[in-house]
Structure formats: structure tokens, C-alpha cells
Amino acid sequence: MSEWVVIYQYPGTAVIKPKKTHAWTRGAGFILLAIAIGGMIGPLLPMLRLESSYAVAQVLPTPIPPLRRVADEATTEFNLIIPKIGVNSPIIPGVDPNDYTNALKAGVAHSITSFFPDQDGTVYLFSHSTSADIFVKELNAVFYLLKNLVPGDTMQIHYHGKTYTYTVREKKIVNPKDISYLVPLSGTKSLILETCWPPGSTAERLLVLADLTETHE
């Protein structure tokens, strides 16, 4: 929009003319606007890439990646498969929730405070998440798409020659100081998957709760 300027020509008279706007000022304005928009959209790009990759995977499913090789061959007797989000990972048994760095480099961690699939209690597993797909491999962020699971989705745990199938019941967001779910929960055969929330943050925790629905050799 042009600005207006008053030009006095004679005593008591005046002429109003539009003020000229230089092309370079308009160009600078467009540049500043583009920078502002880019600043708002830029932080969202990693998440958009993750979501678009997930959407494409639903239309054109890709094979589940092979198990990651680890030094302890015993862990190949204990692994987690979640077909919907492409998880196929070894489970590292008996991990201290306060000392898990090395375990999460090799696979999904099984809390030492929880039970095993063949016992009468809850299995508690946890792994990294991330907000940027470029860090998935570096962090071994097995649970970076855990948020896409919904009630009714299924997953399997292979443990010592048997397959245990669990069905998602609900998802919860909890405070990181809420450790009640880490307390051994006996009397029910269920599964809890835990990761950081929002992805790439440690502000809260995302929990996926599932019930055992089938067991077979």
C-alpha cells in the first residue's frame, strides 16, 4: 500500500500525492516475511518427515528390518516384533532403569523390576525415541514411532522358543517421576512399552499398555 505525502505549493494551498515506494524496500519486506515463515516451519520438518515416511509405509509396506546383532547371543532368544511400526529388535534382559545406556545401544531394554513373558506378571520394556529420523540409527531409537500404536494393534515377544502375542489396550502420558509402573506388577500377564515424550524430549513418558492374548510354540 502506498503512503501519502502533503506537498505545499502556495500559501493556503496544498497538493496530496502518493509517496513513492522503492522496489528494494518491498524486496526486503518479502525476504523478512520468508525468514519469519521459515523460522516457524523449520522445527516441524523432522516430525513431518517421520509422519510422511510412516504414511508411505502404510501404503507400500516394507519388510521388517533384521534383528540387530549383539555380542550376547542369549538375547536372540528374547526379541520384540511390532509389525505396524517396523520394529524387530532384541530385548536385553534384566536392565537397571537407572543404568541403561549400553543396553539401549544393543536393543530394547527389559526392566529388572518386571517379569518375563512366561511368568505371571507384567513385562516392562523401554527404548529411545527421537524427533528426527536422521538420529534413529545413531540412537538406536527403536520406539520412535511408538506413538502411532492404537488400541487393537498387536505385537509379539519371542522368548525361549515361544511366541507371546499382546494387544494394545491403551496409551498414557505420565510424569517422569511417576515410577509406579516400574514396580513389579504380579497377577496379570501384560506388557508395558515406555519411551520419552514428546519424541526427542525427556519432559514426560509415553506408555503403551497391552494384554497377553495368545501364546504358542
Average pLDDT on 146-161 reads 94
Domains of the chain: 1-62 (no CATH), 69-216 (2.40.260.10)
The pLDDT of residue 100 is 82
- Residue pair 142/106 in contact by the 8 Å Cβ criterion: no
Instruction: Return the higher-pLDDT residue of 129 and 173.
Output: 173
Q: Tens digit of pLDDT for each residue in 27-38?
A: 556 666 656 565
pLDDT band, very low/low/confident/very high, at 132 (cuts 50, 70, 90):
low
Residues 205-211 have a mean pLDDT of 94
The span from the CA of 81 to the CA of 63, in Å, is 12
195 Cβ partners below 8 Å, 6+ apart? 126, 127, 128, 129, 143, 144, 146, 205, 206
How far, in Å, CA of 175 to CA of 75, rounded?
A: 30
Least confident range of 44-58, 59-73, 76-90: 59-73
List Cα–Cα distances, 191 to 86, 121, 131, 173, in angstroms.
Answer: 18, 9, 24, 16
Residues 168, 150: Cα–Cα separation, whole Å: 7
Bridge pairing between strands 87-95 and 162-174: unpaired
Which residues make beta-bridge pairs with 19? Answer: 3
Q: Of 113 and 65, which is predicted with more confidence?
A: 113
pLDDT classification of 145: cutoffs 50, 70, 90: confident
Give the predicted TM-score (pTM) of the model: 0.64
